[in-house]
Each structure stands twice: as C-alpha cells, then as structure tokens.
Amino acid sequence: MMLKDKVAVIYGAGGAIGGAVARAFASDGAMLFLTGHELAPVEAVAKDIVSAGGSADAADVDALDEQAVDRHLQSVIDKAGRVDISFNAVGIPDTTILGVPLIELDVEHFSLPIASYTRSYFLTARLAARRMVPNKSGVIMRVTASHSRTGIPLVGGYGPAQAAMEALTRGLSAELAPHGIRVVGLRPQAMPESATIKEAFEPRAEASGMTWEQWLKMLASRTHPRRLMTLEEMANVAVFVASDKASGITGTIVNLTMGSLDD
C-alpha cells in the first residue's frame, strides 16, 4: 500500500495510460479523482475500481480549460481536504498531424500539439501546485514519449510537444521542490495494448512498407529485452514515483524505453 490515503487526481483517466495508472494507484490505496473530457470512459474506470473495493470519483473536465480544471480541483479539496498527486495522461488527438512530412505540414497543424500538450500540462500542474504549496507536499507527474529525445519522421509537432513538456517538468521542479513538491515525467515507449499506438505508428509502418506486426517486432527488437513494455509495468513505476519511497526523485524524466533510448 505505497499510496495509502493519498489523494490523486488523474487527467485523461479514460485513456489507456490514465486508466492503467488509476487502477494501479487504487490498488495501492490512493483515493482517486478521475477526469476526462468525456464522462463515460472515466466512469467505466471508476466503476471497476469501486467494484474492486477502491475509492474513485469520476468527473468530466476538459484539461485545456483553466476554469474547469480549477473548479474540479476545488471540489477535490472540498471533498478530500487536499491533493497529493496530479497525474496528467491527456493525449491530444493527432490523426490530422501524424503521417504528414514536415515540409508539407501547415503551421497551424504543426503548432497544435505543442500548444495543446503544454497548455494542458501547465494548467493542471500550476493549479495543483497552488493547492500543494500550503501543505509543503505533493507530486506532479506527466507522461511523455521518446519523440522528445530522438528524431522520428512524420510526427509533425508531436516531438517538439514532448520535448517542451520534459523541459516544463524540469522548470516546475526547480521552482516547486523548495516547497516540498516533486515533479517527475515518465517516458514509456510504445505499449501495444494501447489503441493510440496504432494510430500514431501505422502511417510510418505503411510508409516503410511494413505490416503492423512487422512494425511492432521492429520496435521490440530495439529494446534490450527484445519486447515492448506492458501498461501494467508502466503503471507500477508510476506508483513508485508517486509514493514517498521516491522522495529522492524530482526534476527528471524516468526513461521507460527499456534500452531503446540511451540516457
């Protein structure tokens, strides 16, 4: 029970990563406030957690809307008295961005993921930090991707968006760690159980003349254990990082690429 009685807010909790992290946080004893811009998938995760004996509240919150995020955090404080963990797993839809060569991409589509990802992370982190500072305690987390650190074709502004969020993680930590708040990123590689991976990588697989299965094998071959990470493995790391056992980790991104990306 590494997160016993910790109050955690998850953004994008109806998604693959948000849902897996929610379930793992709950089984380690956290009290969960799950959000997404559509209520039904978030409610489904909350229902599973509650049927398994955990504590989870579901709400529809657009993580790009400052007032909505602020109102929801206030409701968490009203119900639970504090917020200990903020986990942003929001994935901005990018089907119109991925697969287009940079020289053919218009500036609006290039800028969209950069503006959206950084806006959502900035808002959720800043508004949570304002509630954490008086308690001199808290953990802020965000998922990024290996695109932040390596050149990958046909991903438009997605790579710059990931790099910007990693830079923001370091900046937030530099300002917040003196107030007892840790800020840590998690950088998993593709986890095949998540539907978004197919959406993100299929255009590149097609452009390389590979089937989807061949593409997954190629990605796995680049890792040290020659396999891709599971959602459960990623979520287990998230539990540790969110817990007091990880009190020495802040201002960094945990590399979960299993060797496919050097530190």
Ligand X SMILES: NC(=O)c1ccc[n+]([C@@H]2O[C@H](COP(=O)([O-])OP(=O)(O)OC[C@H]3O[C@@H](n4cnc5c(N)ncnc54)[C@H](OP(=O)(O)O)[C@@H]3O)[C@@H](O)[C@H]2O)c1
Q: Rule CB under 6 A: which residues touch ligand X?
A: 11-12, 14-18, 36-38, 41, 62-64, 89-93, 143, 145, 188, 190-191, 194, 196-197
Is the CB of 37 or the CB of 179 nearer to ligand X?
37
Q: What's the min distance (Å) between Cβ of 218 and ligand X?
A: 15
Residue with smallest beta-carbon separation from ligand X: 15
Cβ neighbours around 169 below 10 Å, total: 24
Q: What's the min distance (Å) between Cβ of 179 and ligand X?
A: 26
Is the CB of 30 or the CB of 165 nearer to ligand X?
165
Q: What's the min distance (Å) between Cβ of 249 and ligand X?
A: 19
Is the CB of 129 or the CB of 165 nearer to ligand X?
165
Is the CB of 21 or the CB of 172 nearer to ligand X?
21
Written as six digits, the tokens of 135 are 């308690």
Is the CB of 11 or the CB of 33 nearer to ligand X?
11
Q: What's the min distance (Å) between Cβ of 44 and ligand X?
A: 11
Q: What's the min distance (Å) between Cβ of 167 and ligand X?
A: 16
